[in-house]
Structure 1
Amino acid sequence: MLDREEYIEQAYLFRLFAERIEGGIAAQEALIAIAQEVLATTKLPLAIGYLASELKLVGTLSTAMARLPHYFNAFQTFVMQQAEEEGGRFDMRTALAMLEREASHRTEGATPQSLFFYRFECLARNRLDYAHGLTAVADDGLFNDDWKQWIHTVSRQVGLIDLADLVFIRSPEYWRLGRKASGLAGRAAPAPDRVILFGEKEGRIAGANRGKDPLFFFAALKRQLNYPSVPKPTPITPSAESPALLVRRIEGLDMRVKLLEEESRGSIDLSRFDPKKFLQPHGE
């Protein structure tokens, strides 16, 4: 766990780095410049210097972040590693936006519940590897041993059991309904046989979304409990040029290629482009 000022500067780093590389500035050059802008009393300038050096030598940032586990957590490293994979569909801009929002959320007092839901939705929306992703999610100082054990259980059962069900049975709402059903049936109320990890509100929302799309569950959590929203992948803006204009451009390129081929063979006839032929009146 880092101090609040460290997370403030981390959020600034990820936001500014995304803006610089989107503006066409080289990544290493952007990092060197940002190192001069962040708060010098934090440890971030030293971390940025190491990131820039690793980027120059290896060409990746995730390898440097993995060597700084005391400053960058495992989930940050995992997200950056996924964004740097060749041929991957996970965009670097989305990755930096995810890391920026998580750092900003930590400055506002993140809870184990809010951090878990945010990270899980990041994995779900971007279709990242659940097995390695949830392992990285659990490797955080904000989660105690009970939380880490439960997250590893989720990683084994995700896809087989809905997340809403896994959350529901770890909430007081599950046992409240159990006591109510036992009272109506004249049986003794069962006592909780597992650690309660979520609050009553999370339990009610999970119970109302059992069997539904998990995205509805996440949306309800954001509306009711003000959990942080996950950045969505930026769609590629379609070209505004008409097909006819594209055809004319292709024809122009085809003509240029033909001229280059004729020039390479030494058989180009420049008289075809004599302006006098184009200005000569008709009938002469």
Structure 2
Amino acid sequence: MLDRDEYVEQAYFFRALRERLGEGYSTQELIRMIRHEILSTTQLPYALDCMVDELRHTGGFASVMSRLSHYFTPFQAYVMSEAERDSGRMEFATALEILEKEAEYRAKGANVQGIFLYQFETLCRNRLGYDKGLAAMAGDPVYDDAWREWLDTVRRQIGLVDIADMIFVRSEYYVQKFGPIEKPVLFGLKEGQIAAANRRKDALYLFAALARHLGYPTVPRTRKADDPLGTLYALRRRVERLETRLKLVEEEQRGGIDLSRFFIPDEKKGK
């Protein structure tokens, strides 16, 4: 887990990048500009340097987020990789807003139940892969062994068993009604009651009820397909990635690609 300052600055970075997408600058230029606004006492400026390097060479930065696993969670990297995928369902601006809201929630003192519900709703609402998504969630240090074991159970059973049922049977409400269970209790009385009331319903109704009654954060909605600004930026991102790929092809034709630039310098790893 990171210090609160790190989450505050992460939230600011994701928000600033999202809000400035339509200003006519490339992603690299925007990140360079925002870097100067970030507190130098945090680790984020070093992570942004790595992002700029990765954008210059590959046209994206999800891969460097994955390599900086001491700073970014696997779930953050997974969300961004889905946004960068050419055939992916998620828009880049939506991914940034999802990561922004999660960082804000962590900065306010998130609990593990809220983190799970937010991340799982992200998978549901954006139709992301449950298998890879839940595996990425399990890599988050917020989850202990009991939670990771349960996440693996959810990964194997989702689609066969409703998420409301899986929450209900691991809640204090279930224990109150039916007695002790062998596995650790992961959810409280209220979560269990709301889950029981939403069994055999669309999972999105469950998430909405939990947000209304317990104040858990809600996942940003996917932007409309006819949003001209979103479409323009998506096209610009694709052009940037195509330009990067063309540069790599040209380098290979001239005698090979210098792979050393894809590695993170030791001094940045240790920050």
**TM-score band, normalised by shorter chain:** 0.7 to 0.9
SS at match of 1:37: coil
Q: Which residue of 2 aligns with 1:153?
A: 153
Q: Which residue of 2 aligns with 1:173?
A: 173
Q: Which residue of 1 aligns with 2:232?
A: none
The alignment yields a C-alpha RMSD, in angstroms, of 1.2
Counterpart check, 1:193 vs 2:191? no
Q: Which residue of 2 aligns with 1:63?
A: 63
Q: Which residue of 2 aligns with 1:120?
A: 120
Query: Superposed, which structure 2 residues align to 1:100-249 within 5 Å?
Result: 100-178=100-178, 190-237=179-226
* TM-score, with structure 1 as normaliser: 0.78
Q: Distance in 1 between matches of 2:156 and 2:98?
A: 24
Q: Distance in 2 between matches of 1:38 and 1:138?
A: 29
Q: Which residue of 1 aligns with 2:77?
A: 77
Residues 39-83 of structure 1: per-residue CA shift (max 9 Å, x gap): 111111111011001110111101111110001110000000000
* TM-score, with structure 2 as normaliser: 0.82
Change (3 A) 1:238 1:151: closer
Q: Distance in 1 between matches of 2:88 and 2:210?
A: 30
Query: Unpaired segments of 5 or more residues in structure 1?
Result: 179-189, 240-284
Q: Distance in 1 between matches of 2:154 and 2:225?
A: 33
Q: Which residue of 2 aligns with 1:260?
A: none
Kept after mapping to 1: 8 A contact 2:8/2:104: yes
Q: Which residue of 2 aligns with 1:186?
A: none
Counterpart check, 1:19 vs 2:19? yes
Q: Distance in 1 between matches of 2:180 and 2:40?
A: 53
Q: What percent identity do the matched residue pairs reach? A: 47
Which residue identity is paired with 2:96?
A: L
Q: Which has the higher contact order (CA 8 A, sep 6+)?
A: 2
Post-superposition, which runs of at least 4 consecutive aligned residues in structure 1 deviate over 6 A?
Answer: none
Counterpart check, 1:37 vs 2:26? no
Q: Distance in 2 between matches of 1:18 and 1:116?
A: 24
Kept after mapping to 1: 8 A contact 2:89/2:127: no
Total equivalences in the alignment? 228
Query: Unpaired segments of 5 or more residues in structure 2?
Result: 229-271
Which residue identity is paired with 2:218?
A: S
